[in-house]
A and B are shown apart, each in its own frame.
Chain A
Amino acid sequence: MHPALSIILFTTLSGAGFGLCFWVGLLGSGLHAYQVALTGFASIGLASAGLLCSVFHLRRPSRAWRAFSQWRSSWLSREALIAPASLAMLAAFVAATALEHSAAATLGWIAAPVALLAVFATSMIYTQLKAVAAWHTMRTPLLFLAYAISSGFYFMLAMLGLAKLTMPQHGGGPVVPDGLLVFLATTLAPAAFLVQYLWWRRRDAVGFGKSSAESATGLGNPGSVRMLEPPHTGANYLTSEMGYVVARRHAAKLRWISAIVGAAVPAILCLWAGISIAGQPALSWLAAIAHLLGAGIARWLFFAEARHTVMLYYQ
């Protein structure tokens, strides 16, 4: 499938943003109001940037408001509704924390699962497509959720580092034992890529699913089918949208690069920093950016390597 930059940025950035929403909502009640504000605004900013990127994919963006209407049947529409709802809930949590309102913690615990629901809805846009066998599996939501949770976590560390840098007098930190924090920091990135590995393994085996050139043309009974002449001499919308091959040529290399940048680098950095990771802005930012970059390369392959049944008509 055509790996449009707008869609890669949309899914990775909004995934990281909602992942950060999840962590802020979950652990925010143990943080200082300044830290909540900083991490909260960062999560809303990341997610909004991602959602904004998706608008660049539209040919008629002025009609995007209509995407709020078809939630009964369409996952894209559901995503369009859940995403802003999730951000609004997190904003309410940040506001309640700043005002020292008693409902703050409860708001955070509601905002956390809704943020994951938004990521789930994003992933279902692709999971629901039966014509793309590589995507049509519950491993796809698992993959999107794994990346969201891991990249959100590294951005939380990075933002806490920034909070410490800008306002060192506010101590505080997530109400998580230091050991658990280091454990999460060193394992979340490799864990996300473990899910990615399982996804890749299925993708490599599944091909076009149950479909073939024979079933696509119905000509399987007479015999095997080979394209003799294409219906057009140049490219068309279908071949440029569904028949993407360039990234596939380097797929094996790109998989390794994404795993090293996205899993090994952040894990090693966090292991090196040890228990002080939340207080080391440089290292934690490096880990967050490396992980996001690795996830972005993997997301590029998610699209480029997926094959659509329409290409069966062009074989």
Chain B
Amino acid sequence: MTSLPDKTDSKLGLVIDLDICVGCQACVVNCKAWNTGGYGSALSDSQPYGDNPEGAWLNRVHGYEVDSGSGAATIVHFPKSCLHCDDAPCVTVCPTGASIKRSEDGIVLVDESKCMGCGLCAWACPYGAREMDPSAGVMKKCTLCVDRIYNENLPAVDREPACVRTCPTNARHFGDLSDPDSSVSKLVAERDGQDLMPEQSTRPVNKYLMPRERQGIDQLAEPDFSLAELADPTPSGVLAWIDRALDRL
């Protein structure tokens, strides 16, 4: 049913630390690798080695330059995937019942066997979290690795989303955001985690931690050597004599 649940028992989601992310794209690749063999049909590409490679991805990392108006601009790597919104507009617009928000954990999922590929949910999502699979013709989105997090065939340490598991800098955190004592909720409280586009009233579960203020980056110190001198070294010894001789010639 594409009506939203009044309340979910828990709110599983991600907390993404923009201060720490280095933009290595490991989460993007591991997401694709896991999900092309996991829940639903393969995450396909069209012309992967051709002139116009294109494909469905559930997680993409943008790069932004943030200019505060004074001092050096900051580069921010910005991973973006489904935010598993409490008021998910993608769910209510679905005409077939394929889009659902689970009442037990708040995960927004697509039942691919019901999806007719009209694409309206992708239009309804303000974040661009949904992409049509080019070959299966059904809508793809982040499942929060629902086939990992409850999977008892995996060692306990691997029961978290592929993107979180693979992040080499610990910029991604997974947990229950409805529990104020969970590690993710504490992180959000401590670092004032932000909603993306709060004005769209989607009430996202995923939170973003903003870059902390850089210390002293405004005062770029004068280097005590000149790079230009390194490129044009002052010769000594025999070379210095040859240099002078050639100058006089």
Contact B2 A60 (CB under 8 A): no
What residues of chain B lie closer than 8 Å to A209, measured between beta carbons?
199
What residues of chain A lie closer than 8 Å to B53, measured between beta carbons?
234
Contact A129 B114 (CB under 8 A): no
Q: Which of A278-315 contact B (CB under 8 A)?
A: 308-310, 313
Whether B6 sits at the interface, judged by CB under 8 Å, is: no
Choose among B62, B67, B134 the residue that contacts A230 (Cβ–Cβ < 8 A): B62
Contact A63 B54 (CB under 8 A): no
Whether A248 sits at the interface, judged by CB under 8 Å, is: no
The minimal Cβ–Cβ distance linking B142 to chain A, given in whole angstroms, is 14
Instruction: Name the residue on A nearest B207 (C-beta).
Output: A218
Contact A218 B210 (CB under 8 A): yes
Whether A128 sits at the interface, judged by CB under 8 Å, is: yes
Whether A172 sits at the interface, judged by CB under 8 Å, is: no
The minimal Cβ–Cβ distance linking B193 to chain A, given in whole angstroms, is 9
The minimal Cβ–Cβ distance linking A77 to chain B, given in whole angstroms, is 4
Chain A 74-86 per-residue mask, 1 if CB under 8 angstroms from chain B, else 0? 1111001000000
Contact B96 A228 (CB under 8 A): no
Whether A201 sits at the interface, judged by CB under 8 Å, is: no
Alpha-carbon distance between A15 and B62 when the two chains are bound, in angstroms: 40
Contact A76 B123 (CB under 8 A): no
Whether A175 sits at the interface, judged by CB under 8 Å, is: no
Choose among A131, A221, A228, A232 the residue that contacts B200 (Cβ–Cβ < 8 A): A131
A130-B200, A218-B196, A226-B64 in contact; A237/B131 too (CB < 8 A)? yes
Q: How many residues in B have their beta carbons less than 8 Å from beta carbons of A?
A: 67
Whether A57 sits at the interface, judged by CB under 8 Å, is: yes
Whether A16 sits at the interface, judged by CB under 8 Å, is: no
Whether A236 sits at the interface, judged by CB under 8 Å, is: yes
Alpha-carbon distance between A66 and B200 when the two chains are bound, in angstroms: 28
What residues of chain B lie closer than 8 Å to A125, measured between beta carbons?
93, 120
Q: How many inter-chain residue pairs (CB < 8 Å) link A and B?
A: 201
Instruction: Name the residue on A nearest B71 (C-beta).
Output: A223
Contact A66 B123 (CB under 8 A): no
Alpha-carbon distance between A242 and B120 when the two chains are bound, in angstroms: 12
Choose among A57, A66, A215, A242 the residue that contacts B95 (Cβ–Cβ < 8 A): A66
Choose among B28, B76, B117 the residue that contacts A219 (Cβ–Cβ < 8 A): B76
What residues of chain B lie closer than 8 Å to A129, measured between beta carbons?
89, 93, 123-124
Contact B93 A75 (CB under 8 A): yes
Alpha-carbon distance between A221 and B69 when the two chains are bound, in angstroms: 11
Whether A275 sits at the interface, judged by CB under 8 Å, is: no
Contact A313 B128 (CB under 8 A): yes
Contact A217 B200 (CB under 8 A): no
Alpha-carbon distance between A32 and B78 when the two chains are bound, in angstroms: 67
A219-B76, A224-B66 in contact; A59/B126 too (CB < 8 A)? no
Contact B62 A67 (CB under 8 A): no
Contact B62 A231 (CB under 8 A): yes
Instruction: Name the residue on B nearest A232 (C-beta).
Output: B60
Alpha-carbon distance between A66 and B76 when the two chains are bound, in angstroms: 43
Q: Which of A60-104 contact B (CB under 8 A)?
A: 60-64, 66-67, 69-70, 72-77, 80
Alpha-carbon distance between A76 and B118 when the two chains are bound, in angstroms: 10
What residues of chain A lie closer than 8 Å to B54, measured between beta carbons?
234-237
Alpha-carbon distance between A223 and B95 when the two chains are bound, in angstroms: 40
Whether B94 sits at the interface, judged by CB under 8 Å, is: yes
Whether B168 sits at the interface, judged by CB under 8 Å, is: no
Contact A70 B123 (CB under 8 A): no
Whether B74 sits at the interface, judged by CB under 8 Å, is: yes
Contact A222 B68 (CB under 8 A): yes
Choose among B2, B80, B126 the residue that contacts A131 (Cβ–Cβ < 8 A): B126
Contact B67 A224 (CB under 8 A): yes
Whether A58 sits at the interface, judged by CB under 8 Å, is: yes
7 contacts between A and B (CB under 8 A): A58-B116, A67-B96, A74-B2, A222-B68, A230-B62, A241-B123, A313-B62
A: residues with CB less than 8 A from B are: 1, 57-64, 66-67, 69-70, 72-77, 80, 125, 128-132, 209-211, 215-219, 221-232, 234-238, 241-242, 308-310, 313
In the A-B complex, the 4 residue pairs with the closest CB atoms: A59-B117, A59-B137, A310-B128, A223-B68
With A76-B120, A216-B196, A309-B126 already in contact, 20 other A-B pairs whose C-beta atoms are closer than 8 Å:
A58-B118, A60-B117, A60-B138, A66-B96, A66-B114, A66-B116, A69-B95, A69-B97, A73-B1, A73-B2, A73-B4, A73-B93, A217-B78, A219-B211, A224-B69, A225-B64, A225-B65, A226-B65, A236-B131, A310-B127
